[in-house]
Amino acid sequence: MSGIVVLGLGNVLMTDDGAGIAALFELDRRYEVPDEVERLDGGVLGLQLLGRVEDAVRLIVLDAVSTGREPGTIVRLGLGDIRAVFAKKLSMHQVGFNEVLAAAAIRGRQPPEMVVLGVEPAAIEGGLGLSASVAAAVPALVAAAVAQLADWGVEVRERATPLEAGPGAVLLGA
């Protein structure tokens, strides 16, 4: 096990919140990723992801990230940029990824290397499929993940012909 994990996060039923999942699908569709790189659809799981995060040595998180920039902007966050906060919550469903990071950190088990590659959402509301500006940014998000894998010495080759559109197609409006 290389310990390299690409983790997509988000709710595909909430428009741009599904950007990370769309990118995860596109990564496999457009590139040949070696099997030792684990690709994981984390959906909207919270603490259930703790084990996978703690077991990772190098972790790429693909997600919609809200920093107030223009929709479609690619955002790169290092570990120190994300304030892992045990925020106030009313429901179990709000135990989110910030909590997973905080729990891993307090236990001294954060992945040694981690990067969040995100895209600034335009709209997050009930509905299937990304908004146009975010869908257009997905290839750049995938390219950022590929570049990060290359930095880690993983050879990722672009497919001469992308695979047929899979479940991610509906998110990209294809």
Tell me which residues touch other proteins (CB under 8 A): 9-11, 13-14, 17, 43-48, 50-51, 61, 63-67, 75, 77, 80-99, 101-103, 105-108, 116, 118, 121, 124-126
Least CB distance to other proteins at residue 28 (A)? 20
- Map residue 151 onto helix, strand or coil: helix
Residue number with CB closer to other proteins (82 or 169): 82
Beta carbons within 8 Å of 118's beta carbon, 6+ residues apart? 19, 20, 61, 62, 63, 64, 65, 74, 75, 76, 77, 141
Least CB distance to other proteins at residue 7 (A)? 12
Residue number with CB closer to other proteins (81 or 158): 81
Residue number with CB closer to other proteins (72 or 121): 121
- Phi, psi for 113 (deg, rounded to 5): -130, 135
Residue number with CB closer to other proteins (125 or 164): 125
Residue number with CB closer to other proteins (88 or 155): 88
The CB-based long-range contact list for 133-140 (8 Å cut-off, 24+ gap) reads 133/71, 133/72, 134/16, 134/19, 134/64, 134/71, 134/72, 135/22, 135/171, 135/172, 135/173, 136/72, 137/19, 137/72, 137/73, 137/74, 138/19, 138/22, 138/23, 138/26, 138/172, 139/26, 139/30, 140/74
Least CB distance to other proteins at residue 160 (A)? 35
Least CB distance to other proteins at residue 149 (A)? 21
Least CB distance to other proteins at residue 39 (A)? 16
- For tokens 């559109």, name the residue: 165
